[in-house]
Chains A and B, each alone.
Chain A
Amino acid sequence: DQQVKQNSPSLSVQEGRISILNCDYTNSMFDYFLWYKKYPAEGPTFLISISSIKDKNEDGRFTVFLNKSAKHLSLHIVPSQPGDSAVYFCAASEFGNTNAGKSTFGDGTTLTVKP
C-alpha cells in the first residue's frame, strides 16, 4: 500500500500564474514532509520542508501547506516561471523514532509552465 500519493501525474500552468501540487499520505507517524524538484538526468534537489507541528512554511515563491487532519499537503509556486518546469516529488519522514529520517516518496508530478 502506497503511503505517499501524488494523484496528479502532470500539471500545466501559464507563466505568472499559481501552480498547486498536491500530496496525500496515510501514515500518521510521519512528522516531517519535504518537496523535491527533479530535472531530467539529474538527482532530485531539496526544495522546501515542513514539520508536523506547523501548518505553513514559506520560502520565496514556494509555500508548503500541511493539513494534518486530512493527511494532505500542498506546494504552491507563485508566480510560476518556465524554469520551474520539472518533476516534483513529495516525501514524508518519521523522525520520532529510530528510523534515521528515511523518507518515503510519492510518484511525482510533472509540472510544465508555459511561457
Chain B
Amino acid sequence: NAGVTQTPKFQVLKTGQSMTLQCAQDMNHNSMYWYRQDPGMGLRLIYYSASEGTTDKGEVPNGYNVSRLNKREFSLRLESAAPSQTSVYFCASRPGQGGYTFGSGTRLTVV
C-alpha cells in the first residue's frame, strides 16, 4: 500500500546510546517531517525537509539530527539518547498544500 513506512515500530535504548529512525514514502511528495508526541500533548515538530537536499529545524530540534537521503527517505538520528527523548515519533510527508500522510509511529523508550 502507498504511504509512509517507519522502522522500527518499537525500541528501547539505554541512556547515551545512539540510533537512527528510518522513514520512507512512496507518494513522490517533496516535503517530509519528523514529529514527536508525548502523553497528553500534541505533535511537536523536530525537523523538516521542504525538498530533497534541504533540512530545517522545527520547534524541538535539540538532541536530534536528520538526513534527507533522497526524495523518498528522511531519517532521524539520536546521537546520545536521554530519558527526555522517550516519546512516540511520527514521520509524515505532504504533497504541497494538503494534509500530511503519517507513518504508524516509532515508540521509543530511553532508560
Residues of A within 8 A of B (CB): 4, 6, 9, 32, 34, 36, 41-47, 49, 89, 95, 98, 100-108
Contacts and interface: CB of A to CB of B under 8 A. Distances in A.
Given A43-B4, A46-B99, A104-B59, 14 more contacts: A43-B102, A43-B103, A43-B105, A44-B43, A44-B90, A45-B102, A49-B98, A100-B48, A101-B96, A102-B58, A104-B45, A105-B35, A105-B42, A106-B42
B33 interface: yes
14 contacts: A9-B40, A32-B97, A36-B100, A41-B104, A43-B90, A46-B98, A47-B99, A49-B99, A101-B94, A103-B100, A104-B45, A107-B40, A107-B41, A108-B41
Given A34-B99, A95-B97, A107 B104 contact: no
B104 A42 contact: yes
A100 B99 contact: no
Given A43-B105, A44-B90, A107-B42, A101 B97 contact: yes
B65 interface: no
Chain B, interface size category, equals 20 to 34
Contact of B42 (A42, A45, A89, A98): A89
B75 interface: no
Nearest to A90: B42
B101 interface: yes
Contacts of A46: 98-101
A100 B32 CA distance: 9
A41 B37 CA distance: 12
A108 B98 CA distance: 20
A75 to B, nearest CB: 13
B99 A36 contact: yes
Nearest to A103: B100
B13 interface: no
